[in-house]
Copies of this chain bind each other. A is one copy, B any other.
Amino acid sequence: MPQLRQNPVTGRWVAIATERAKRPTSFTRAAGVAVPAASTCPFCYGNESMTPPEVMAYRPTGTAENTEGWEVRVVPNLYPAFGPANGEPTVATVGMYQTMNGAGVHEVIVSSPLHAADISELPTEKVRRIVDMYIDRYNANRNNPSVQYLLLINNHGKEAGASLEHPHSQLFGIPLVPSEVEDELAGIQRYRNEQGRCVYCDVNANEEKDGERIIAKNEWFLTFAPFASRTPFEASIVPRWHAPRFEEMNPDQREAFANALHDLLTRFRVGLNDPPLNFFIHTAPCHADGNVDYHWHLELLPKLAIAAGFELGSGVMINVATPESAAEFLRNVDLSGESQPIAVPSGHH
């Protein structure tokens, strides 16, 4: 029977309606994009001059900036949605409307020199380096007075909005706190007022106890299908300790997060035939004070459904798979063939 479920944080509703499921094949299409020759990819070794100059790279001593040899490389987005060239953030009035200039930052974090290896295909120690770079770029930008919020995102596959195949993430620094985060902050405050606890902490406790929506867990993180999943196979990675900021993880926690992310992405690639997907990290707003009541987390949404007229007009997503069945499927993916990740250049060559 179709069921509406309420997101306990934002109060938004979703409809779980499995009768409307599409054919199983729509769950297993590959993210595949034609692999261009390395000579044309701006993120491959030797093509460093095809991007704007790098703002940061992990590279061995003796290699020059904007040359090959790097492990993880960060460059400004060539087509920035937000950027320092747009000046200081200023609200302007146009008749009855409000505008703001697109001040901020928009960086590209290239995952590795390997054109065809996504995060799940890298060794976990390389994923840890990506996580370190995420945090380095958060910290490099969080005191920027033009930036109110830093949003880290990853688009995997053309259908999920990736325009270049070479795996990369993007860090957006934007001049406002976006509505999705405002809604979470408000929901956390409301729950705190009513229950005296953090809603994310309570969700974690509830999911650990219940178990049927758990996909994986480690010492520091819980990976599960949210009760009110908006799309088939939606997944969250949530810290098992209460912390407002992704960028303040200690080394143990970073290691555990890299492992959790690698594990989840591997389950998608192996179990669901590498579907197009998006993930993003929600952390506290840059300039929120030290005791801000927030609980950072990662959300992953595979691109397995179309937001059509009903979803656009209502804001209520119709999800054709239960999170319980999605979690069971992802929990049981056979990872035994994944013990030998492909080799990656060491950065020394």
CA distance A176 to B203 in the complex (A): 24
Interface hits, A157-186 → B, CB 8 Å = 159-162, 170, 172, 174-176, 178-181, 183
Q: Which secondary structure characterizes the binding site on chain A?
A: mixed
Cβ distance A77 to chain B, nearest Cβ, rounded Å: 9
A151 contacts B by Cβ under 8 Å: yes
Residues of B within 8 A of A99 (CB): 3-6
Q: Say yes or no: is A338 at the interface (Cβ < 8 Å to chain B).
A: no
Contacts known (A8-B96, A170-B310); A2 close to B80, Cβ less than 8 A? yes
Please tell me if A227 contacts chain B, counting CB pairs below 8 Å: yes
Q: Are B206 and A2 in touch, CB under 8 angstroms? A: no
The 8 Å CB contact of A97, one of B154, B227, B282, is B227
Chain multiplicity (copies):
2
Q: What is the number of residues of chain A that contact chain B, defined by CB distance less than 8 Å?
A: 74
Complex contact A83–B2 (CB within 8 A): yes
- B306 x A160 contact (CB < 8 A): yes
Chain A 205-241 interface mask (CB, 8 Å, partner B; 1/0): 0100010000000000000000110000000000000
In the bound assembly, the distance between CA atoms of A1 and B199 in angstroms comes to 40
The answer to whether B102 touches A309 (Cβ under 8 A) is no
Complex CA–CA separation, A278 to B311 (angstroms): 10
Shortest distance in angstroms between A231's beta carbon and chain B's nearest beta carbon? Answer: 10
User: Within 8 Å CB of A176, what residues of B?
Assistant: 4, 13
- The segment from A64-72, A312-320, A341-349 that touches chain B is A312-320
